Amino acid sequence: MDVEEFRVRGKEMVDYICTYMTTLRSRRVTPSVEPGYLRTELPTEPPYHPESWDEVMSDVEKKIMPGVTHWQHPRFHAYFPSGNAYPSILGDMLSSGIGCIGFSWAASPACTELEIIMLDWMGKAIGLPPAFLALEEGSKGGGVIEGSASECVLVSMLAARANGIKRLKHQFPNVDEGLLLSKLIAYCSKEAHSCVEKAAMICFVKLRILQPDEHGSLRGDTLKEAMEEDEEAGRVPFFVATTLGTTSCCSFDNLPEIGPVVRKFPCVWLHVDAAYAGSSFLCPEHKHHLAGVEYADSFNTNPNKLMLTAFDCSLLWVTNRYLLTSALVVDPLYLQHCYDHTAIDYRHWGVPLSRRFRSLKLWFMLRSYGISGLQKYVRRHCELAKYFEKMVKKDDRFEVCNQVKLGLVCFRLVGGPDETTEHVDELNKKLLTNINASGKLHMVPASVRDRFVIRFCVVTQHATREDIETAWDIITDFATELLEGPDKERVCFRYPKLRAHSHYA
């Protein structure tokens, strides 16, 4: 494909995306395919000779689209929003076009510098303390774009581990490092994202998963008790992962309580994962959730969730970038350059060496929407969740199972007065299975206080009250059919048993 064909095909692709977005309503939100569907549609080997672009695009529509779960569909209410706002698509297009790799300052200075500045812009906009900003006078902090929230949590834990081991080695210079590692213990709430568990597996450290309060919030006393107990037993607390806006039920850990507890222990790293909720702090009325962040060593949020930005765009800030990079520095000659000591080299801030020019899309988003435009989106998003909550509460057959603070409502069928917990869980599984199988609406489950609940998340950018009403109509229709219909026994069970979290993972 030469440049002139790209000029044509690129514009066709823009049109294809426009058509996709404007006709999405006519598609099923979830596909009706079984594992392996595509295998029968494609050849087993790549073509030897080039194929025409028309053939390729025709297969996109015929073979790929029938297997796509449409995250931008107005009936998609699963997981969390995943943005594809146009300015961010344009940012990624430009990034691909330039095709530079910004692993060091010298490898493409603009790529590094725009990222530093954008992270400062975002940090200020959501209200992080100056200690997290790179360009504040005297600050040792700064931010970086990682590929995912999981990476943000992992590199924070790696920095904490390096810091913890350093301290222990100083204390016990003759003890085997592996033995020191065995002493380290990290903490999170049962409501923390599974990526904390994954990070602990990768870091090869113990993770103690703590019970939150009845609202899914980890409290200071629970943490304090656990940390003291562990210290008593000879373990060494080194990392606490807290969450603002959990995945299951959008609960908020109690940072103002947790912060002072953590600070009583020497050398413990406090991380705040606000992957979903972070963008809501653009609004003054949500900033109170940030209380206690002044105790934190690191903080992450994903503009690709509640800020409409195309994935991937996970922002991580730290108050001490030297602790972060010292855990990740390796430095071969072919990557060294004469500004090594005056410039930030982002290759030391994460797992990958190479990185795209991802700050372009963040810059485009912030300028195209302005803070006011993003606030407007967040506010409508939250208001629609409240609207959904109101409808659930009006229907006696249902209950709301979380405190609705942003765009996520957890709800379930209550079941009859004589029904067992297990039976009510099964009833809700059936409801969700039937709805998802219909392709009319898509939601996913969660476990809230060990009960099976259905998560309803406000997702699409231009969602309206009518969309929420339509969703509620679909849900109640299926509920009525399930509770009163003749063939309720015929549905299949789609969801496995709830998993019990082990106390120590």
Site for a second copy in 298-337 (CB under 8 A): 304, 310-312, 327-328, 330-337
Which residue of 28, 213, 224, 353 would you call a contact of a second copy, by CB under 8 A?
Answer: 353
The rounded distance, in Å, linking the Cα atoms of 360 and 324 is: 24
Q: Can you tell me whether residue 321 is helix, strand or coil?
A: helix
Q: Using a CB cutoff of 8 Å and minimum separation of 24, what contacts does 333-337 make? A: 335/103, 335/104, 337/104, 337/105, 337/106
Binding-site size for a second copy (CB under 8 A) equals 162
Site membership for a second copy, residue 352 (CB under 8 A): yes
Site membership for a second copy, residue 138 (CB under 8 A): no
The rounded distance, in Å, linking the Cα atoms of 11 and 129 is: 43
The rounded distance, in Å, linking the Cα atoms of 144 and 200 is: 21
By DSSP bridging, strand 451-457 and strand 314-318 are unpaired
Q: Can you tell me whether residue 107 is helix, strand or coil?
A: coil
Site membership for a second copy, residue 406 (CB under 8 A): no
Binders of a second copy among 264-283, rule CB under 8 A? Answer: none
CB of 175 to a second copy, least distance (A): 10
Nearer of residues 390 and 501 to a second copy, judged by Cβ: 501
Which residue of 26, 50, 170, 420 would you call a contact of a second copy, by CB under 8 A?
Answer: 50
Nearer of residues 312 and 389 to a second copy, judged by Cβ: 312
Q: Burial, 334: exposed, middle or buried (Cβ in 10 Å; 0-12, 13-18, 19+)?
A: exposed
Q: Can you tell me whether residue 485 is helix, strand or coil?
A: coil
CB of 16 to a second copy, least distance (A): 7
Q: Burial, 119: exposed, middle or buried (Cβ in 10 Å; 0-12, 13-18, 19+)?
A: buried
CB of 390 to a second copy, least distance (A): 24
Which residue of 25, 54, 62, 94 would you call a contact of a second copy, by CB under 8 A?
Answer: 94
By DSSP bridging, strand 451-457 and strand 444-448 are antiparallel
Between the alpha carbon of residue 355 and those of residues 5, 121, 424, the distances in Å are: 28, 20, 48
Which residue of 26, 170, 174, 176 would you call a contact of a second copy, by CB under 8 A?
Answer: 176
Nearer of residues 60 and 267 to a second copy, judged by Cβ: 60
**Alpha-helical regions (H) of 99-148:** 109-126
Site membership for a second copy, residue 356 (CB under 8 A): yes
First to last CA, the chain: 51
Stretch that binds a second copy, among 220-228, 229-237, 290-298, 486-494 (CB under 8 A): 486-494
Q: How many residues does the chain have?
A: 505
Between the alpha carbon of residue 468 and those of residues 78, 350, 419, 434, the distances in Å are: 14, 40, 30, 19
CB of 144 to a second copy, least distance (A): 14
Closest by Cα among 161, 257, 217 to 402: 217
Nearer of residues 343 and 483 to a second copy, judged by Cβ: 343
Stretch that binds a second copy, among 49-57, 221-229, 233-241, 392-400 (CB under 8 A): 49-57
Site membership for a second copy, residue 291 (CB under 8 A): no
CB 292 within 8 A of CB 259: yes
Site membership for a second copy, residue 173 (CB under 8 A): no
Stretch that binds a second copy, among 18-26, 211-219, 221-229, 471-479 (CB under 8 A): 18-26
CB of 310 to a second copy, least distance (A): 5
CB of 447 to a second copy, least distance (A): 5
Nearer of residues 37 and 260 to a second copy, judged by Cβ: 37
Binders of a second copy among 442-481, rule CB under 8 A? Answer: 444-447, 452, 455
Binders of a second copy among 73-92, rule CB under 8 A? Answer: 79, 82-90, 92
Site membership for a second copy, residue 60 (CB under 8 A): yes
Nearer of residues 269 and 364 to a second copy, judged by Cβ: 364
